[in-house]
Amino acid sequence: MKTLKDAYLALKKIVPNSIDISNASPQGGVYLLFKGLNQININVDLVSFIILIQAKSLNDDNFSALSLVDSIRREFIKHDFLLADTGDISAQFKGFNGMLYSYEMSVSFKIFRDDI
């Protein structure tokens, strides 16, 4: 991968139903946000994205959100080749508001430049 668009498209293959947004939404769903970029060296950048997973629960449990997190985690395992074996994912609970549970998956991986 060489560009941020390549990185974004790789993530869309792993989580195809994710919705592109620039900040959190008040409704359930899976959302994809660009987080940032860090230069490692002249030829390599580390790109970071957030997958925000939000699910509603009518009976005050977070099992629907946990199953979404687990489903996405499994997709990353199945598609690790898309990230050229440089991917790192983590997930953490971000809180809840009423019946809406929120988890954030952070995804980082390297993109390579050979045009400099």
CATH 3.30.2000.30 fits 4-112, yes or no: yes
Residue 41, both tokens: 């060296």
Q: What angle do CA 83, 5, 43 make, to 5 degrees?
A: 65
**Dihedral angle over CA of 40, 79, 53, 22, nearest 10:** 50
Is pTM beyond 0.85 here?
Answer: no
Residues in contact with 54: Cβ distance below 8 Å, sequence separation at least 6, in sequence order: 24, 25, 27, 28, 29, 30, 31, 65, 100, 101, 102, 103
- The 10s digit of each residue's pLDDT in 7-33 is 989 999 999 989 877 666 667 889 999
pLDDT in tens, 52-103: 998 877 666 656 677 888 889 999 888 888 887 778 889 999 888 777 888 9
Report the C-alpha gap between 73 and 37 in whole angstroms.
22
